[in-house]
Amino acid sequence: MVRACGLLTAQKEPVPLKSIEVELEVRDHVATVVSTLNYENKEDKPLEAVFVFPLPGDAAVCHFNAKIGQTQIVAEVKEKQKAREEYDDALSSGQQAFLLEESLQSPDIFSLSVGSLPPGESASIRLEYVTELAVQADDGLRFCLPAVFNPRYQPQGSEGAGVQVTSVPASLVPYSLSFSARVSSPRPISKVESNCSLDPLQYLNTDQTQATVKLAAGHKFDRDVELLIYYKDAHQPTAVVEAGQVSAEPGSLMADSVVMVSLYPEFPQSVTSSVASCGEFVLLMDRSGSMSNTRISSARDTLLLLLKSLPMGCYFNIYSFGSRYEHIFPKSVEYSQQTMEEALKTVVQMEANLGGTEMLQPLKHIYSQPCIPNQPRQLFVFTDGEVWDTKEVIDLVKKNSDSHRCFSFGIGEGASSALINGMAKEGGGHAQFITGTDRMQPKVMQSLRFALQLAVVDISVTWDLPKEVSVTVLSPPITALFPGQRSLIYAQLSGQSSEAAEGCVTVKYSLAGHPSENQLHFSLRPAEDTGLTVHKLGARTLIHSLEEGEHRGWQDTKVKEKVVQLSVQSGISSSLTAFIAVFNNNGEAIQGPLLHKNILKHDYVDCTLSPYQDYEDLQEPSVLTMGYMYADQESYDYVGCTLNPYQNCEGYMDADQESGDYMDCALPLDQDYETCSYKPRNKSDSKTGVFTQMKKILSDFWKSCKTVADGALKSVSEGNARSSVSEQQTRDPLLQLVSLQEATGKWLLDPALPTALGKTNEEVEKSKPVLANKEIWATILALIWLHGLKMDSKNEWDLLAMKAASWLRAQNAPWVTECVEAANLLLGCSVMKEALGL
């Protein structure tokens, strides 16, 4: 869901952002981010405003202060309701105050209330958070700085019905950005890459374990800034022990030492090179409006690769969703040539035309389907948007975690890290993010390989420590282990030990019926100058575990009290606490009326959306969009509000309960006004029949509009179908070859095969050994072409090539060697038969 961002005036104009300063410090796989935003109020009246922004879903906000003029105010963490009351009291008594709180719907959305900013005054907001960096498919560590720190710039003249704002030329963006990163690690730093232009990496020492990097001059922060950091020997396990805070309460988490253990369990080669031949694969694809153009095209290609790579004997189904959801089969079907072809016919026609991003209902339908015996369910979720009920979606995945594994993919900038990481974590799967020019296919195929491997079971973690030291694990139990992927464990260490003492952590698990274990020995001597980063991340981990536990409804008062106590002690934000800062300016009353500006979460004043574009999915990379406009809390005026004709807005409209004013407020075309849950101001209004008459007028009006909209939808749908056919004809050779493979893994000597290989039919026929079977010849040709000419894309076609080799071995044909030699000669390759797995 697009979140409004930036400080706004009563006229919906942004409080001008003068500059952004971001300092990033990365230590191994942990990042500390300090962002400073400098604003100026050019209004002639005092301003109260709200700044709404996302952060990484697993980030721990650990410091916040604000400076108005020459006055700096440092915030402290308090119970949320008390903080809100303190904020309101401060404003009513003429004081300046700041309130920073986490959204109840999603842990990666924060709102900052600023009250009040005097006319002509400047404000400097400094926010600090710590977060872990996720491991990517190529072993890089990913850091993402959301472009939301750049409030979406709204050009002059954009007021009115159409407030979708497209990209603003860089020359018109009136602020500067300063971004610098310092990276340090026990291992040498290989390289740092970005989706933005960087100055050259500067090493600070000879062993290349410390380096700095900056964004190149001229960057306007019109898109997310993504850094990928690569270390040598990245898969080495590590442990960092951090000393407690001397001033903390004895026995508390902040007073004791905390250890962060980073593990990379090792798997036998026989396991990592084999794949399962069973499973139920359910693919859930986002088809909301913002998946249009290259995203939906890449999604179709990805589904093609997935379908071709599935093993014979498994089951599958494909769901797609927007404001509604569809599925190809009523229930999962057995994978065969017939069912694969039927699915592909639907896939090739998929367009981004289903409206918004509503994931909960299709998930509920998927989980309501009974699991197939001896076919472990594997759920793949692809989405580029966010859902407003993130926590409810994650809860649903967790509730069904015993019956499936969930692999999630965030597509493009703006995908909710809380949603993507949360679903994978609770579903025992793996999360991937596809941004910028990333290809979706290799990351998805890596996750498919994980899904095809046997699940690791009976995972346990044991500690061996000196007898005077006890351990309290802060992290939830490990539920999934995958080759090459990191597992993090935080633990509180109580008691004293000598600096020379050592500890040991052992991870035990069972795979394919064989027990295995990995050990890590580490020193208990605390690391120097860590800034309590490990404590903050450990506290964040424990807080999230408590919040996501069995007491979601907070019926257990003790759990609630523990979260608040831990949040206050550690200075880490939670869903039950908030940062509050109040400046007492000697009690002097603020001159002039205070412009109260609330950013309402479900407010759509003057918002006009396209027939295919839902309010949840307005944000595109490098597109500056003010997705929500903001109603005056006192008037709740909804004049000119037009919602997506296929989007049910029940539950989103916050109309004035007193006035009941719904003039010009468009409900969805398929929504009966009689079901509107909002009532007129009083009974007399109802008796006059005015409200009933208005309902009828609006209902008739939208019925006539729906006829026009349906015609437009049909026209565009037909155009999209024609363009998809054209796209098929110009597809790259690799995908052309993949599209010709049969479900069993073989290729036919089809006339389209030589074209994909860059040869003529005559050349292919002439080169075939005389006694060779046509299907075996075609299959070996395809494999030689892949291994000889497309090794740079091996992670995309590896699984379907393994399936082809398996089919060839089953044929037990005597002319395989002759076919390999002839194919090498024809294609100009030198691939050995053994390299094909034959």
Q: What is the pLDDT of residue 704?
A: 44
- How high is the mean pLDDT of the chain? 75
CA distances from 307 to 8, 170, 381 (A): 48, 42, 15
Has residue 677 got a pLDDT over 70? no
pLDDT in tens, 357-386: 888 999 999 999 999 988 989 999 999 866
pLDDT in tens, 182-233: 999 988 999 999 888 888 999 999 999 999 999 887 766 666 788 899 998 8
* Confidence band of 309 (pLDDT split at 50, 70, 90): very high
Q: What is the pLDDT of residue 718?
A: 41
Residues 783, 386: Cα–Cα separation, whole Å: 40
Poorest-pLDDT segment among 2-6, 92-96, 343-347, 531-535: 2-6
Let me know: does 827 contact 757? Beta carbons within 8 Å.
yes
Let me know: does 541 contact 490? Beta carbons within 8 Å.
yes
Question: Is 250 in the same domain as 142?
Answer: no
Poorest-pLDDT segment among 378-387, 478-487, 748-757: 478-487
Q: What is the pLDDT of residue 630?
A: 27
Residues 668, 521: Cα–Cα separation, whole Å: 61
* Confidence band of 54 (pLDDT split at 50, 70, 90): confident
Q: Is residue 555 part of a domain?
A: no
Say how many CA atoms lie within 13 Å of 92 toward its Cβ.
Answer: 6
pLDDT in tens, 190-204: 999 988 888 899 999
Q: What is the pLDDT of residue 354?
A: 86
Let me know: does 299 contact 283? Beta carbons within 8 Å.
no
Query: The CATH number of the domain where 262 resides is what?
Result: 2.60.40.1230
Has residue 467 got a pLDDT over 70? yes
Question: Helices (DSSP H) in 30-188: which residue ranges?
Answer: 80-92
Question: Is 761 in the same domain as 686?
Answer: no
3-class SS letters over 756-776: HHCCCHHHHHHHCCCCCCHHH
Q: What is the pLDDT of residue 454?
A: 76
Question: Is 800 in the same domain as 815?
Answer: yes
Q: What is the pLDDT of residue 7?
A: 56
Residues 112, 146: Cα–Cα separation, whole Å: 16
Domains: count for the chain: 5
Backbone angles phi, psi at 93, to 5 degrees: -100, 10
Domain edge (last residue) among 502, 525, 548: 525
- Between residues 535 and 715, the one the model is more confident about: 535
What's the token pair of residue 504? 């040991």
Query: The CATH number of the domain where 75 resides is what?
Result: 2.60.40
Q: What is the per-residue burial (b if ≥16 Cβ within 10 Å, else e) of 671-680? A: bebeebeeeb
Residues 396, 390: Cα–Cα separation, whole Å: 10
Has residue 744 got a pLDDT over 50? yes
Element (H, E) at 282: strand 280-286
Q: Across the strands, what pairs with 521?
A: 504
- In eight-state DSSP terms, residue 589 is P
Residues 520, 259: Cα–Cα separation, whole Å: 13
Question: Is 431 in the same domain as 494?
Answer: no
What's the token pair of residue 761? 């039919």
Q: What is the per-residue burial (b if ≥16 Cβ within 10 Å, else e) of 301-338? A: bbbbbbbbbbbbebbbbbbbbbbbbebbeeebbebeee
Domain edge (last residue) among 496, 525, 554: 525
Question: Is 490 in the same domain as 346?
Answer: no
In the chain, the N- to C-terminal Cα span, in Å, equals 50
* Confidence band of 442 (pLDDT split at 50, 70, 90): confident
* Residue at token pair 């009136």: 174
Q: Is residue 738 part of a domain?
A: yes
Residues 417, 108: Cα–Cα separation, whole Å: 7
Q: Across the strands, what pairs with 74?
A: 65
Question: Is 29 in the same domain as 136?
Answer: yes
Q: What is the pLDDT of residue 721?
A: 40
What is the mean pLDDT of the segment spanning 250-266? 89
Q: What is the pLDDT of residue 698?
A: 42
Q: Across the strands, what pairs with 502?
A: 523
Domain edge (last residue) among 504, 525, 546: 525
E strands in 483-607: 487-494, 502-511, 514-523, 577-583
Q: Is residue 794 part of a domain?
A: yes
Let me know: does 660 contact 680? Beta carbons within 8 Å.
yes
Let me know: does 280 contact 371? Beta carbons within 8 Å.
yes
3-class SS letters over 607-675: CECCCCCCHHHCCCCCCCCCCCCCCCCCCCCCCCCECCCCCCCCCCCCCCCCCCCCCCCECCCCCCHHH
Q: Is residue 38 part of a domain?
A: yes
Q: What is the pLDDT of residue 726?
A: 36
Has residue 825 got a pLDDT over 70? yes
Has residue 763 got a pLDDT over 50? yes
Q: What is the pLDDT of residue 720?
A: 45
- Of the chain, the percentage scoring pLDDT greater than 90 comes to 33
What is the mean pLDDT of the segment spanning 765-778? 91
Q: Is residue 207 part of a domain?
A: yes
Has residue 498 got a pLDDT over 60? yes
Let me know: does 380 contact 306? Beta carbons within 8 Å.
yes
Has residue 600 got a pLDDT over 60? no
What is the mean pLDDT of the segment spanning 351-356? 85
Q: Is residue 158 part of a domain?
A: no
Q: What is the pLDDT of residue 32?
A: 93
Following CA atoms 295, 296, 298, 302 in sequence, which dihedral angle do they give, to the nearest 10 degrees?
130
Let me know: does 381 contact 429? Beta carbons within 8 Å.
no
* Confidence band of 703 (pLDDT split at 50, 70, 90): very low
Let me know: does 132 contact 417? Beta carbons within 8 Å.
no
Query: What is 419-466 written as a DSSP string?
Result: HHHHHHHHTTS-EEEE-TT--HHHHHHHHHHHHHSPPPEEEEEEEE--
What is the mean pLDDT of the segment spanning 136-140? 78
- In eight-state DSSP terms, residue 122 is E
Return the number of other C-beta atoms located less than 10 Å from residue 55's C-beta: 25
Let me know: does 79 contact 128? Beta carbons within 8 Å.
no
Q: What is the pLDDT of residue 14?
A: 61
- Between residues 171 and 532, the one the model is more confident about: 532
* Residue at token pair 């509920």: 364
Pairing of strands 76-79, 96-102: unpaired
Question: Is 351 in the same domain as 228?
Answer: no
What is the mean pLDDT of the segment spanning 98-120? 79
Question: Helices (DSSP H) in 109-230: which residue ranges?
Answer: none
- Helix, strand, coil percentages (3-state) for the chain, rounded to 5, are 30, 25, 45
- Between residues 689 and 163, the one the model is more confident about: 689
Of the candidates 457, 462, 458, 456, the residue with the CA atom closest to the CA atom of residue 506: 462
- Between residues 262 and 269, the one the model is more confident about: 262
Element (H, E) at 701: helix 690-729
Residues 402, 654: Cα–Cα separation, whole Å: 38
Predicted TM-score (pTM) of the model is 0.70
Has residue 620 got a pLDDT over 80? no
What is the mean pLDDT of the segment spanning 772-801? 92
Question: Is 792 in the same domain as 718?
Answer: no
Query: What is 275-337 written as a DSSP string?
Result: --S--EEEEEEE-SGGGTTHHHHHHHHHHHHHHHHSPTT-EEEEEEESSSEEESSSS-EE--H
Question: Is 748 in the same domain as 798?
Answer: yes
Return the number of other C-beta atoms located less than 10 Å from residue 191's C-beta: 12
Q: Is residue 62 part of a domain?
A: yes
CA distances from 493 to 471, 487, 504 (A): 5, 19, 13
Residue 472 falls in which region: left (phi positive, over 0), alpha (psi -120 to 50) or beta: beta
Return the number of other C-beta atoms located less than 10 Å from residue 215's C-beta: 21
Query: The CATH number of the domain where 359 resides is what?
Result: 3.40.50.410
Q: Is residue 415 part of a domain?
A: yes
Question: Is 115 in the same domain as 54?
Answer: yes
Q: What is the pLDDT of residue 528?
A: 74
* Confidence band of 317 (pLDDT split at 50, 70, 90): very high
pLDDT in tens, 621-633: 222 222 222 222 2
Question: Is 198 in the same domain as 54?
Answer: yes
Residues 397, 391: Cα–Cα separation, whole Å: 10
- Report the SS3 class of residue 187: coil
Has residue 592 got a pLDDT over 60? no
| Cα radius of gyration (the chain) | 29
What's the token pair of residue 25? 């410090």
Has residue 617 got a pLDDT over 70? no
Has residue 716 got a pLDDT over 60? no
Residues 407, 422: Cα–Cα separation, whole Å: 10
- Between residues 32 and 609, the one the model is more confident about: 32
Question: Is 67 in the same domain as 200?
Answer: yes
Backbone angles phi, psi at 352, to 5 degrees: -85, 75
Residues 555, 146: Cα–Cα separation, whole Å: 35
- In eight-state DSSP terms, residue 291 is G
Let me know: does 696 contact 660? Beta carbons within 8 Å.
no
Residues 829, 838: Cα–Cα separation, whole Å: 17
Residues 399, 427: Cα–Cα separation, whole Å: 9
Return the number of other C-beta atoms located less than 10 Å from residue 113's C-beta: 23
Return the number of other C-beta atoms located less than 10 Å from residue 481's C-beta: 23
Identity (one letter) of the amino acid at 650? E
Instruction: Tell me the residue range of the domain where 392 lies.
Output: 285-452
Let me know: does 452 contact 799? Beta carbons within 8 Å.
yes
- Between residues 270 and 74, the one the model is more confident about: 74
